[in-house]
Amino acid sequence: MVSVQDLELLRRTLQRDLTDVEVACFDNLWSEHCSYRSTRPLLKTLPTEGPAVLLGPGDDAAIVRFSDTCAIAIGMESHNHPSYVDPFDGAATGVGGIVRDVLSMGARPIALMDPLYFGTLDAEKNRYLFEHVVSGIGDYGNCIGVPVVGGDLGFDPCYAGNPLVNVVCVGTVHPDRFLTARVKKPGTRLVLVGSSTGRDGLGGASFASRDLAEDAEAEDRPSVQVGDPFTEKLLIEAILEMAEIGKVLSCRDLGAAGLAGASSEMASTFGAVIHADRVHLRETGMTAREIMLAESQERMLLEVEPEDVALMGAIAEKYDLSWSDIGEVIAEPRYVVTFHGETVADIPIDLLVSGAPLCPWERRPYQAETAFVRPATPVKELALRVLAHPDVAEKTWVTEQYDKDVQLQTVSHSRDAAVLRLEDAALVLSSGCNPRHIYLKPYEGTANTVIENASNLACVGAEPLCIVNCLNFASPVHPEISWQLEQSVLGLGDMARTMGIPIVGGNVSLYNESDEFNTQIKPTPSIGMAGKSDEVRRWKPAEEGDLLMLIGATRPEFGGSVLDAVTGCGGMAPALADPAVVAVVRDLGRSGVVTAATDLSRGGLLAALAKLAPQSRVELAGDPLEELFAETYGRFLVACRDESALAGVEQHRVIGKVGGDALTVAWDGTSFAITPEELETALATTTRIMRY
């Protein structure tokens, strides 16, 4: 609910009591989810501009030029709290929401990525959440025909009781023809298209800005929306057909805070009168407050000229969608709601959409790194345990549930970055972050996340175009979390500036804590990155006889590594890497002298070898633990026919050769071999656990 202080401020400003509809509007629109009260000054520090950016943050999705005839619309959202309460529907509607954000730009949604973070798979509840979140994403994305081409998957005890479900959606639109979500002129009509409105999801925006109490599941179930992907698919085709004829002046998806949120933000360039009684409903007896705040899914609000209303209605009906003409844009900066002739809200629109006072939080640094304690376990056993950790193991149990090929654009997926053909070039996508590293070093860890995603793109020769982010954190009421959030955002912005990648949109999800498990999530500023390559390259493994080369220097950075996760060895988290190596590898990839490339991330060199050259022989130069398991950023494993391919590349060395009947690792006169069967068994761990 609106805090006592906020309510007092509003009474003073308006010099009267608020109606219940007004209170409800402020409750939702002044929530963190809608107004970024805790993070606005911090978010302002991020670099958002670049020559390719046609529309930056602030609209439903950003627009970035891909070519003279094609722009991408890109957005990223979280649906964390609903996915804990009802994992299937929570995750499904998370997909639906971000797809409509892209659609509201007049763009056809073409790809999805899902960074997901769960508690460990030894607990039945975490397996349940994992299974149903994946099903929810799959059922929704598959049905609407938008391929899930990538994502991230992390497991850590901190997410028990608070899993994270983030979704990136990318669409395409002509660079001169995208829509925005701001009304263009007074006198126009506001037309609501799509599902009828019911009492589902009441108060979802304020629900999202709260931590989860023990009884969250039972008590909050009415706050979770249920998705209908069939209607969403009809909505996609209908809205695109309406946009195609050029009669849509502006367009907005109904998401958090329902019609109140969408109509007030959309009309904030002028003002609006909404007739709540004209909304098509699926339940009887709904009050104005319920109609304005309900988060029923699959609804869009369009601004059209009065003479075009009937035409829009006809297109909606072609697709069996309901619609209603629910209001008009007015010149006065007021947000007015009427219900059966009675005015139930009348508020200065600026106060509603941008008047929320900021919440300053106290910040206090912390230090969580511990000294490295060398595990006594034999190296081969450590290797198998690292490979079997679900952060490293094969993700086919997940990715097979997603239709990756619909729309005939997916060239390559599931490795480093996804490659989609787009016109005669490639759109390359990557997403994720490393929460364990970021927890230990919030600034460096988040900066390294930018490098890591750009590295994924470089492996297929692509240059970054833009970043979207989803800042998932615990409650900033704790000074340590507030500091963590600040450091993380600064690290993100600084590295994005250094690498010249604009951050064009994002979402903030705070209060990710669980009373039930007494946990706070580790900082999880997951990002989505889109890039372009002029040539379409498919990711492929190394070939028999190739030399294996390691680019970049390795340091004993074990803190937050997968080795740390399986042994508790501790150690320092990776320091800030030098991003210059990314462009070097990108050029190598483009020149065609390397047959395969992958960057080193979770699971270090060992995981990279398992992926790129599972049957090969490598010779380590130093400490085997450091060489195999450290997760220093800015490193790549590449395969090429001969060493001259890397002439002039700093800090590279030959570490082995592809071939043989196992993955053989030798150092200092000793060695071990992992047979293909052992490797397959370790990498199949997630599938084995989940397929019961």
Partner 1 sequence: MRFAVVQFGGSNCDRDTHHVLAEVCGVETDLVWYKDGLQQPYDAVVLPGGFSYGDYLRAGAIAARTPVMQDILRHAKEGRLILGICNGAQIGSEAGLVPGTFTLNAYPKFISRHVHLRVENDTSPFTSAYRKGDVIKIPIAHKEGRYVAPPGVVETLNREGRVAFRFCDEEGQVTPESNPNGSVENITGILGGSACNVMVMMPHPERASETVLGSDAGIRIFNSMITHIEQHG
Catalytic residues: 33, 79
User: Which residue, 253 or 403, is less far from partner 1 as judged by CB?
Assistant: 403
Please name the amino acid found at residue 147.
P
Answer yes or no: is 456 a known binding residue: no
Answer yes or no: is 79 a known binding residue: yes
Residue 629: which residues within 8 A CB-CB, separation 6 or more? Answer: 382, 386, 558, 561, 562, 563, 603, 604, 605, 606
User: Which residue, 145 or 186, is less far from partner 1 as judged by CB?
Assistant: 145
User: Which residue, 374 or 421, is less far from partner 1 as judged by CB?
Assistant: 421
CB of 392 to partner 1, least distance (A): 21
Sign of CA dihedral 673, 677, 678, 679: positive
Sign of CA dihedral 265, 267, 269, 272: negative
User: Which residue, 198 or 634, is less far from partner 1 as judged by CB?
Assistant: 198
User: What's the rounded Cα separation, in Å, for the pair 475 and 515?
Assistant: 12
Backbone angles phi, psi at 308, to 5 degrees: -100, -5
Got the DSSP string for 105-129? TTPEEEEEEEEEEE--TTSHHHHHH
Going by C-alpha positions, the residue among 460, 401, 404 that lies closest to residue 427 is 460
Task: Provide the CB-side half-sphere exposure for 15 (13 A, CA).
Answer: 0
Rounded to the nearest 5 degrees, what angle is found at the Cα of 160, between the Cα atoms of 158 and 162?
90
Answer yes or no: is 295 a known binding residue: yes
Using DSSP, state whether 617 is helix, strand or coil. Answer: strand
User: Which residue, 320 or 362, is less far from partner 1 as judged by CB?
Assistant: 320
Answer yes or no: is 117 a known binding residue: no
Cβ atoms 64, 53 nearer than 8 A = yes
Residues making up the chain, counted from first to last = 692
Answer yes or no: is 389 a known binding residue: no
Answer yes or no: is 507 a known binding residue: yes
Answer yes or no: is 544 a known binding residue: no
Instruction: Give the DSSP H or E segment for 594.
Output: strand 594-599
CB of 33 to partner 1, least distance (A): 29
Distances (CA, A) of 126 to 75, 159, 163, 517, 568: 27, 9, 8, 12, 21
Answer yes or no: is 225 a known binding residue: yes
CB of 579 to partner 1, least distance (A): 31
CB of 403 to partner 1, least distance (A): 4
User: Which residue, 342 or 405, is less far from partner 1 as judged by CB?
Assistant: 405
CB of 150 to partner 1, least distance (A): 14
CB of 404 to partner 1, least distance (A): 6
Q: Is 78 exposed, middle or buried (0-12, 13-18, 19+ CB in 10 A)?
A: buried
Interacting residues toward partner 1 by CB under 8 A: 135, 138-139, 142-145, 228-231, 233-234, 318-320, 396, 399-408, 410-411, 421, 536, 538, 691
Binding-site positions read 36, 77-81, 100-101, 225, 253, 295-297, 469, 506-507, 509
